[in-house]
Structure 1
């Protein structure tokens, strides 16, 4: 645990202690519990009289860990990760990430396809054909039009604005989770790596984890892509004439899920190590290791933070099939393992300059 980690942990723990005291003594300041707008969580089952003391305890434990020896830090940091990642987490972080991708994903996808076509790549033409087919199906069913696109984008922005305060608490909890996770990883990562984390083992389980992680978002994507057809899923709940704006909103999130699945496969592909030839400016250069690790780690963390809330909500509603449609617990674990394998492999073996031309041709 470095000096910077200790300072960051101390600042975070002081803030957590203060927030816990506020919740404990001032019920109206407590954002969770029965009046919480986000019910896909465990915290909506706890009122301030329970969550307040627990949060204070988490802050005081964090302050104690700042001065503790390494073995104690390992145990305490793991406990903090569980508290912020399980007890106080909710699915809001995943919703924010999904709707953010819904706004930016289509723009990025079109840009990538256009660049690939300009470079004459077969994958670009295949992507263009898929986009044309998708837009044609949307236009045929009345899901895609300029008015509906504008309405959908406005609805997403309005939802963000409506939940801004609540999402602030979600983001704060995610930040605390990230800090203690970083400290825990560093604490457990000191010393000799176990056999499972050595380069000769990483390639074996890393590929399995990556393929599994890429498959996890596909059920939801396929489920929502039926909204492009005259027979959309959920029609029993929303009526036979589902609102076109609602349909488009589901479709763009599905597209984001498909993009995520494709990018996940980059963790075990050559183009995940070296930028392809059709990428301007960066073509032929090694992909910075931190770029896929940070992006993949962000999604993996969001899945893990949403897992508890999804499981609790599925049990409360008696709809356990939600866990098959949104397999956040499995997805988060597999994606975290895939990202870790990528990191271990890339940091153990660096590409030499003579490898780059061959990598660029693949």
Structure 2
């Protein structure tokens, strides 16, 4: 293991010890427990006098193992992953990701249209002119298209502001889990590769994993699309929702559907070469790291959201939630699909 990785693990462990001491000695600083607004987590059942010492212990273990020999690092990395991936994880990470995609997706699409117009691709100038007409119509006639988007963005901003501090701890835990994932991957990268990770085997089981992973977000997409009907599938809600809420449901459904389509790209030709409808880079080879990093990130988010969802569904007696949000299955299948894609593409690059 490289010196930089060991230093990173040591710095992370020191930070974890400091946070654990703060939680242990200052109850008001503890963001979890029974008072936590995010209930889809194991820490919702644990108070500061339990989680604080556990966090200090996790930091001390991290410091001890990161300077040790390979077997000790491997065992310690697994223990740290279990702590950050199960004890401190919560489903809030999936909310951050889903709303981030729902917000940035339309912005990215608009950016593609503008860039295409500037470079003379498609009939982008017509699209930009249409947006300008909509803006004028919204201002002069009160059509409401842009006002609707403004109300939607206002809702999202208020939600993030309300949960801002709590979501910060969610992201911090995700970063710690990602660091230990890298350390574990480095520590276990030894020995002769098994037969199942050979490219010819990865093609077979990778296709099954990819199709299964692509199906996992579909129940959530259908759930959100019901917000466009007079019968939204949301507890305590009767009748049609407000227009800005329906837009929110539509964008979240599109984010889920987009995830399913992109997942299928792991076994499709356009997952290796950018298709013709993609401006600027069409026809070029898709960098291997792009789908691997993006898909691996989503798989990690699903895995982090899984323990909290399972615990919450059991505590509330609503196992149907696992059918609507199949994060445990989704995370495993997507991780397998990404791994198979990487094994296959890597073999293509090194093949003479």
Report Cα offsets for 1:271-296 as digits up to 9, x if no partner: 11111233333222211111111111
Shift of 1:73: 1.2
Please tell me whether the aligned partners of residues 81 and 177 of structure 1 are also in contact (alpha carbons under 8 angstroms): yes
d(CA) in 2 for partners of 1:257 and 1:227?
A: 15
d(CA) in 1 for partners of 2:27 and 2:45?
A: 15
**Map 1:125-274 → 2, pairs under 5 A:** 145-234=145-234, 237-274=236-273
**Map 1:12-31 → 2, pairs under 5 A:** 12-31=12-31
Shift of 1:231: 2.9
Residue number in structure 2 paired with 1:105: 105
d(CA) in 1 for partners of 2:194 and 2:121?
A: 44
Residue number in structure 2 paired with 1:356: none
Shift of 1:352: 8.9
Please tell me whether the aligned partners of residues 217 and 256 of structure 2 are also in contact (alpha carbons under 8 angstroms): yes
d(CA) in 1 for partners of 2:281 and 2:252?
A: 28
Please tell me whether the aligned partners of residues 213 and 330 of structure 2 are also in contact (alpha carbons under 8 angstroms): yes
Shift of 1:152: 1.1
* SS state at 1:33 partner: coil
Shift of 1:111: 6.4
5+ residue gaps in structure 1?
Answer: 121-143, 354-362
Flag the 1:61–1:317 CA change in 2: closer, same or farther, 3 A: same
Please tell me whether the aligned partners of residues 94 and 303 of structure 1 are also in contact (alpha carbons under 8 angstroms): yes
Residue number in structure 2 paired with 1:341: 340
Report the TM-score, using the length of structure 1 for normalisation: 0.86
d(CA) in 1 for partners of 2:295 and 2:15?
A: 28
Please tell me whether the aligned partners of residues 105 and 255 of structure 1 are also in contact (alpha carbons under 8 angstroms): no
Range with bigger deviation, 302-311 or 236-245:
236-245
d(CA) in 2 for partners of 1:31 and 1:326?
A: 25
Residue number in structure 2 paired with 1:39: 39
Shift of 1:153: 1.3
d(CA) in 2 for partners of 1:172 and 1:277?
A: 39
Flag the 1:224–1:113 CA change in 2: closer, same or farther, 3 A: farther
Report the TM-score, using the length of structure 2 for normalisation: 0.88
Shift of 1:112: 6.5
Range with bigger deviation, 274-283 or 257-266:
274-283
Range with bigger deviation, 25-34 or 279-288:
279-288
Report Cα offsets for 1:4-61 as digits up to 9, x if no partner: 1101000000100111111111111111111112111111110111101100110011
Query: Cα RMSD between the aligned structures?
Result: 2.3
Residue number in structure 2 paired with 1:324: 323
Displacement over 6 Å in runs of 4+:
110-115
Flag the 1:326–1:105 CA change in 2: closer, same or farther, 3 A: same
Shift of 1:314: 1.1
d(CA) in 2 for partners of 1:105 and 1:7?
A: 36
Please tell me whether the aligned partners of residues 34 and 47 of structure 1 are also in contact (alpha carbons under 8 angstroms): yes
d(CA) in 1 for partners of 2:112 and 2:321?
A: 32
